[in-house]
Structure 1
Amino acid sequence: MVIAQPLKNWAGNVEFSTLTLHRPVSVEAVQELVADSELIRVLGTGHSFSTVADTTGDLLTVADLPRRIEIDADRRSVTVSAGTRFGELAQALDPEGWALHNLGSLPHISIGGAVATGTHGSGITNGCLASAVNAIELVTPSGELTVLRRGDEGFDGSVVTLGSIGVVTALGLDIQPRFEVEQRVYERLFLSALRVNLREILTSAYSVSVFLTWQRPFAEQVWIKHRVDAGEWPHGRDWLGATLAPSQRNPVPGQDPGFTTQQGGVAGPWHERLPHFRLEFTPSAGDELQTEYLLPIENAVAALDVLSGLADTIAPVLHVSELRTIAADELWLSEAYRQDSVALHFTWHPDPVAVDPVVRALEEGLAPLGARPHWGKVFAMEPADVAARYPRFADARTLIAGYDPDGKFRNAFTGKYL
């Protein structure tokens, strides 16, 4: 189909370089389209803030492909169509007694897009969302449908590839028995206590998020998500000087707390607690920009010091920032490749001109600490510096070139960085 008006991403900061958006309703139609295209990219739910999905050729969405959610209990795996949103998959898994290991802040994002960019949730024992992938069904440049499985040669380099090896139509994901989570929010954790106890705080529960605006000498909120089957709640009413919030909270100042998942220690299904926001609400109109860097967790305190030193620069253009942890994985282009990581996330005001110098200042300060930018967020790091952060980067480039020697799936972003 040809759209009548320019297509933009969710945030509105990226206007796509094509007016052609295809919505195939079968895998066979995807195969035919790919085979006939000279240049093509796949669009997920449009939640990337970088130009990773842009193209001057054909743009394709797999959102209209037949919905697949096929549970294999013996293998503890589910096969799911790539255009399915995580929240939709969770609602199908939970009644059958199954769960994913983790979810991102937003359950609204597509599984295929989140996997391709290394998107993650939180928790020092929890790998990024792509770490659950055990199989990939994709359409190659010739239009052939093929399946890659964990253990195949090059599989670890084929999961997080920014859409560069083919159109992913379905994914196999590891699942586990369903579990329940209780969530509480602590308020006013002073930076002095945060710095001294940073690793303890970030690793004190199944999932932990620290939210700061950098306008005050304390973290405004600490969100603790505790698995009920792990035992008693790990903290008291007062914890390191912070106190329990008396009512529901939203991590973004001024935003409706009704959009967020249940707090107050009320136990509930994993998929209704691990995300910050509820599937049935749109948590934001998209009037924001986002940036994120992952770096080795042993550098977390040094990174906090960098942010503290830039507080006066960050605060004027910031809605909120978030600190999280992610477990190491073996996926060559994952931002957490072979390093337990701390993630520094920033939700900015929708002003690219004002945000750009702040991002550059952040990158200069974090450069010695091994920061890797999130592929789907706004960053300014030079390609050579990005490549130097990934030990298997050259192997990933070789693998991608092997799949797509003519660059059918290439765009300006992947041409620059890969």
Structure 2
Amino acid sequence: MLTNWAGNTAFRARAVHRPASLDELRGLVAESDRVRALGSGHSFNDVADTTGDLVVLDRMPATVEIDSAARKVRVAAGTTYARLAEAVHAAGFALENMASLPHISVAGSVATGTHGSGDANRCLAAAVSGLELVTADGSLLSLSRGDDDFAGAVVSLGALGVVHTLTLDLVPAFELRQYVREGLTPDALDGFDDIMANGYSVSLFTDWRDTRIWLKRHEEFTAGSWHGTRPAPEPRHPLPGMPADACTTQLGVPGPWHERLPHFRPDAPPSGAGDELQSEFLLPRAHAVAALRELYAVGDRVRPALQISEVRTIAADDLWLSPFRDRDSVGVHFTWIRDVATVLPAIDLVERTLAPFDPRPHWGKLFTRRPGCPAGFRELAGRLDPAGKFANDFVRLLPEE
């Protein structure tokens, strides 16, 4: 039985296929009546599930084609960000941002709106300038930024076809330094905007009682006391008490962008190595402080189900199904214990607490209140996949906005 990374979802597919060529993939899609693609399996719900054929792309040609003049890279859908980052950096370039884990696949991350952090940094999907996908009849469709259907096809939940390659924007390679600050109190939330602006990428890790700040900066940071915090004397893991061996280098040591932006190293087990469940809710940036205060107020009730929360900021984009569509956002992430009976009431409490602030869930995490689906996306899916070959219960049950 094939399960997701956390082991909380067992896929119901009648068969799992690993095509080794584009022709094989196209034939498989054309012949199947129900088919979905599976990325690295890091989603915590059934967004990738199907009762038909499940396609895993880890045996496809490992395409990484860099166009230095255009500052673009064309990459195979199943490529991990760790492998992509190494190739891009070797050519003198960088991705604008990365997620906490470099282990995840490019296509799966893009399709679900996965993101990193930074006031000026958009989600990973916003770097996509083109994509090729195998549609329901097995034909290959290419879309580029500016095409009518492009903004609906990037964050697509796998509902339009099987993505074959993506083309991403690049920037010149750069270095960062990573610092951890300890002792942030709820009273310091009035300084939230200043805290989040003090790095290229900034995260808060909290159990809604004790809070640490992860700063990823171009410049050195030598402040003693800052917003009531102090520098961590040694490397830290986001989960208090865990050894920091799996984490990227801290203590202000400069290093390449791809060795600082993720919290975890690609050659080490990611995060809690799967012994967890996750939720995340994306709110308008203007509501950040008020929403965080409400979560601190219910922290004692959330904490029994919680391992750690992470707070990040993400810039707006224009992608139809992006959780950041048309609004700068703050993301509040919950890494739960792996106990569904304990976690579901905590998710319900969080959703009720955040309801006044117009939350949108991360598509690949656990949530109980389904967000709306734009009518334009329904029309696009109906046009590209009239028989619903790529649809599943997750997509069908999304209400229309």
Q: Indicate whether the TM-score tops 0.5.
A: yes
Give runs of aligned pairs for residues 156-171 of structure 1, distance below 5 A.
156-171=151-166
Counterpart CA distance in 2 for 1:235 and 1:122 is 22
Letter in 1 for 2:117: S
Measured after TM superposition, the shift of residue 65 of structure 1 is 0.4
Q: Does 1:410 align with 2:388?
A: no
Give the corresponding residue for 1:268.
255
Does the CA contact (< 8 Å) of 2:284 and 2:330 recur in 1? yes
Q: Does 1:16 align with 2:11?
A: yes
Measured after TM superposition, the shift of residue 285 of structure 1 is 2.5
Counterpart CA distance in 1 for 2:18 and 2:37 is 10
Aligned-pair Cα RMSD in Å: 1.1
> Could you list the per-position Cα deviations for residues 239-264 of structure 1 after superposition, in whole angstroms to 9, with x for gaps in the alignment?
11100011111001232201000001
Give the corresponding residue for 2:194.
200
Give the corresponding residue for 1:226.
217
Give the corresponding residue for 2:333.
345
Q: Tell me, what secondary structure is at the counterpart of 1:56? A: coil
Q: Tell me, what secondary structure is at the counterpart of 1:80? A: strand
Q: Of residues 179, 191, 194 in structure 2, which corresponds to 1:184?
A: 179
Q: Percent identity?
A: 49
Does the CA contact (< 8 Å) of 2:186 and 2:293 recur in 1? no
Q: Tell me, what secondary structure is at the counterpart of 1:417? A: coil
Give the corresponding residue for 1:278.
265
Does the CA contact (< 8 Å) of 1:7 and 1:19 recur in 2? no
Measured after TM superposition, the shift of residue 9 of structure 1 is 0.3
Structure 2: which 5+ runs fail to align? none
Measured after TM superposition, the shift of residue 184 of structure 1 is 0.5
Measured after TM superposition, the shift of residue 203 of structure 1 is 2.2
Give the corresponding residue for 1:251.
238
Letter in 2 for 1:256: P
Paired residues, number: 398
Q: Which moved more, 1:44-53 or 1:399-408?
A: 399-408
Give the corresponding residue for 1:79.
74
Q: Does 1:368 align with 2:356?
A: yes
Counterpart CA distance in 2 for 1:153 and 1:298 is 31
Give the corresponding residue for 1:3.
none
Give the corresponding residue for 2:346.
358
Letter in 2 for 1:260: C
Q: Does 1:328 align with 2:316?
A: yes
Does the CA contact (< 8 Å) of 1:204 and 1:234 recur in 2? no
Counterpart CA distance in 2 for 1:266 and 1:233 is 9
Counterpart CA distance in 1 for 2:378 and 2:145 is 19
Give the corresponding residue for 1:289.
277
Q: TM-score, normalised by structure 1?
A: 0.94
Give the corresponding residue for 1:237.
224
Give runs of aligned pairs for residues 66-105 of structure 1, distance below 5 A.
66-105=61-100
Give runs of aligned pairs for residues 13-162 of structure 1, distance below 5 A.
13-162=8-157
Q: Tell me, what secondary structure is at the counterpart of 1:333? A: coil
Letter in 2 for 1:400: A
Counterpart CA distance in 2 for 1:10 and 1:352 is 15
Structure 1: which 5+ runs fail to align? 1-5
Does the CA contact (< 8 Å) of 1:323 and 1:345 recur in 2? yes
Measured after TM superposition, the shift of residue 314 of structure 1 is 0.8
Q: Does 1:308 align with 2:302?
A: no
Q: TM-score, normalised by structure 2?
A: 0.97
How has the CA–CA distance of structure 1 residues 368 and 242 changed in structure 2, closer, same or farther, with 3 Å as cutoff?
same
Measured after TM superposition, the shift of residue 235 of structure 1 is 5.6
Letter in 1 for 2:86: Q
